[in-house]
Structure 1
Amino acid sequence: MHTLTMDDVATALDDTARLLAPDGTRLRDPRLDGWVADLDAAALRGLYRDMALTRRLDAEGLALQRQGHLGLWPPAEGQEAVQVATARACRDDDFLFPSYRELGVLVVRGAQPADLVLGWRGEVQGTFDPYLLNVATPQIIIGAQSLHAVGYAMGIQRDGGDQVAVAYFGDGATSEGDTAEAMVFGSSFQAPVVFVCSNNQWAISEPVTVQSRFPLAGRAPGYGIPSMRVDGNDVLACTAAMRWALDHARSGRGPVFLEAVTFRMGPHTTSDDPTRYRSRELVEKWRARDPLHRFEAYLRALGECDDGFLAEVHTEGDALAARMRQAAVTAESRPALAVLDHVYAEPHSGIDRQRDRFAAYLEGFADEAGA
């Protein structure tokens, strides 16, 4: 079994751009400083609020799945900074293409609590209208959304717009052909697209050091795409890097690739047991770099965060989580056979046969319940 060592952690963090140390101390980076110089107190508190709400809703989703109300949940703990920062840096009319783990992107874009859970119950119309949020339906097929984002970006070019498309994916997706093809097309057509790779160190149980012997950001220049490796647990650095990337893409200079170095604190999904492939020591090493604690320390040093502000955010998070729970526990699922409804516009004998077989299958469970 491949393992990720402390030396690997040190290597992963050595060459990342950052503006905040793990203890919240403000650092200087000439590449990034100018891109966040205009952030006022309200903007900084907004970044913290969205990260905190994301974590609270993530915890509720995990609890709902463990209690049997959801079929699956992909935890996002530890990755809130890159999600919130990059989404907040975008304009409202930029179109975002997330993977299944970008809960923070949906929080920033104003998804309703029910939008976050009904899909994980398998309910009909269990997600949001993409055109209300300018966010595509989260993609489970690894890397597929990178192609969708490039296609949308090429459409922007043809329409003469100045919007940007953003593709979100994890380190595992960089091993997929879809992502490689998306970067080829994006570069060849100089499409206004930003690739945001959340390198959380694990493609399920496979460490990134096995997927690539060199930083993932180093792959992009081979496609003719500029890149930056940024501390994914530093919300200020992620904001600055994303603003730079968006400016590059929006000004007609083509795609940008961001590698946000972060860590998935929980399991890949609720069907995974991460204790089988990584150590407690490693997890605690990354817990010391927690993005919320880091940013809270920075805001307290500025005098922009006190117990009253934190209490307000906590209350808001609890209220949203309660609405999310209510949506999940009160949802009424359609009968199982209804999955075959509306497959064809007209009656179809093949569907009729499938319905008969599926009904017989379901009847077998009814017999077991009766026994």
Structure 2
Amino acid sequence: MKNSAREFIVNKSNLLESRFKPLHVPTEAALQDGQVVLQVERFAFTSNNVTYAAFGTAMHYWNFFPTDEGWGNIPVWGFGDVLASKAEGVQVGERFYGYYPMATHLTVQATRVSPAGFVDGAEHRQAMHGLYNHYVRTSTDPGYTKESEDVQVLLRPLFITSFMIDDFLDDNQFFGAQTVLISSASSKTAYGLAFMLSLRKDKSCKIVGLTSPGNLEFVRNMSIYDEVISYEQVAELATDHAVVYVDMAGNGQLRSQLHHHFNDNMKYSCAVGGTHWEELSGASNLPGAKPTLFFAPAQIKKRMTDWGPNGVQSRLAEAWQAFMQPVMSAEKPWMHIIHGQGEAAVRQVYDDMLGGAARPDQGNVLTLLGAG
């Protein structure tokens, strides 16, 4: 049936294996108090979601939307509409932005309902960071417009990470480095970070983007990196100054090469993404700073204390508006949005992203509703 409820799941131990399975959606009469059924109307799929899958077990991403034993549902950012509700303050027909499964529906336990939205209080989600459990009511979200939904699901979660890495590096005086190296420079989180770094009046650090030969032109045309080179050229980088490495690729071989190249001048090294998911490897016994995993919510928590919650939101909103100008430029946009509907489209985008075949100038917005 074309409109049957279903979900897209992947084999946790072999991400190349995926399938669709029927999904049980409770009727309104069967709902418990506080439960809400959301129909997942659209969601984005980016390299960030490959990272969720690659780190699914280590970072507990599989815990958000449990499914069959040995299989996982990759979390995505999207919009959903309320189909049924037994939660006070959540009405049928309302629209919410948040963390969804790759599925047609999601049943949540709405708690802490407010004009801004609600938190999914389902027991299996409580161990995870609260940032991922909050659903934002579009009718009261000051940054929401219907026209910008696609851009929001594609870039807003990634840009928050970009914004917080930039802030974290500045908060730590760039660890004394003069250069920031960013791998997967064509990825959305990477160029969001480069954009933020490029805005700094002091330009305390040179921004160097590392990318594949096929993406060199695209990245250079953005004009936000001070220098863009291919992975094959990293051995040519000067080693007489301190550097910071922001690893968006998760490529263990590249990480090792850079650490050995810069040795003690590698002052900070963090892993953010895993777009080269098949090359993830250990990072022990490398010269220079020990590689760590950057976790944006930790810096957000710190800044909520430093700035107050409104301080974080206001700074982020201002940066987001500035970022949107080049991204959606009428003359030379950084991103073209591609819509896909149904199982075949979802599987194709997943396989392309996993295989590294996705184009950097495209953003995929998907739905499992409608076409089978």
Larger helix percent? 1
In our comparison, the structure showing a higher alpha carbon Rg is: 1
Which bracket does the TM-score occupy, shorter chain normalised?
0.3 to 0.5
What TM-score does the superposition give when structure 1 sets the normalisation length?
A: 0.36
What TM-score does the superposition give when structure 2 sets the normalisation length?
A: 0.36
